[in-house]
Amino acid sequence: YAKMGSDPRFWNSLVLTAIYTSSTVVLQVVLGLALAILVLQIPKGQGLLRVAAVLPIVLAPVVVGLFWRTLVLSPDFGLVDLVTRALGLGSHNWLGDPQLALISVIAIHTWQWTPFAFLVLLATLATLPPDVYEAARLDRAGAWQRFLHITLPLIRPAVVMVVILRMMTALSAFAALFAATGGGPGSATEILNLYAYRTSFLELNLGYGAALAVTLMSITLG
């Protein structure tokens, strides 16, 4: 544990973990809530949309990582590259560029786990009492006022639960990220979980790797 204070890789992985976790959790909650509100406005086809939303969750994380690495973010042939070249933005090495790799793995994790936030918040929104909204409309409250002063306070317990569960998942993220980048290029996506793995099983420094793992467990419990 004494080595952590002077270990730049530890602090780099800790910062990356904080950025990765906070970004993915915020994106999942915001996108999940927006999709849930949008789906509730659709009178027909909600069941089909819910089934489609579950698909990223049921895929194995390794499959998700390889899918994004080979079909979505692959230079020249990936779906994202095809779009950027069509828009005149050129081709990019999304997982091989240190400046783009972290953004790319955040997008992967967000895509896989936003459906969880969507389903939980959709179920919560569907149970809200309609008479409260009707009273607000009679009082001439606008859509934003109803959302801010009625919807958000009523769904706060569900949002808190989603945030806690998503933070725990993001802190323990490994398989999809490892399959996509392996923590690279260099240490651009080496969150604390991957740093503990590399230290323990690639560098065979089991003692320090165990200390890193216990530190991650303490953060997760906190």
Query: What's the pLDDT tens digit per position in 163-182?
Result: 999 999 999 889 999 999 98
Does the pLDDT at position 156 exceed 90? yes
What are the backbone dihedrals phi and psi of residue 97, each rounded to the nearest 5 degrees, phi first?
-95, 120
Give percent above pLDDT 70 in the chain: 100
Compute the distance between CA of residue 214 and CA of residue 97 in angstroms, rounded to an integer.
31
* Through-space distance between the first and last CA atoms of the chain, rounded to whole angstroms: 18
Query: What's the pLDDT tens digit per position in 23-54?
Result: 999 999 999 999 999 888 887 777 787 788 88
Mean residue pLDDT of the chain comes to 91
Residue predicted with more confidence, 139 or 189: 189
- Residue 26 confidence (pLDDT): 96
What are the backbone dihedrals phi and psi of residue 185, each rounded to the nearest 5 degrees, phi first?
-70, 135
- Residue 205 confidence (pLDDT): 93
Lowest mean pLDDT among 10-19, 24-33, 80-89: 80-89
Q: How many residues does the chain have?
A: 222
List the structure tokens of 92.
Answer: 């990019």
HSE-CB at 193 with a 13 A cutoff on CA atoms is 20
- Residue 163 confidence (pLDDT): 96
Does the pLDDT at position 2 exceed 90? no
Compute the distance between CA of residue 137 and CA of residue 133 in angstroms, rounded to an integer.
6
- Residue 170 confidence (pLDDT): 93
- Residue 42 confidence (pLDDT): 82
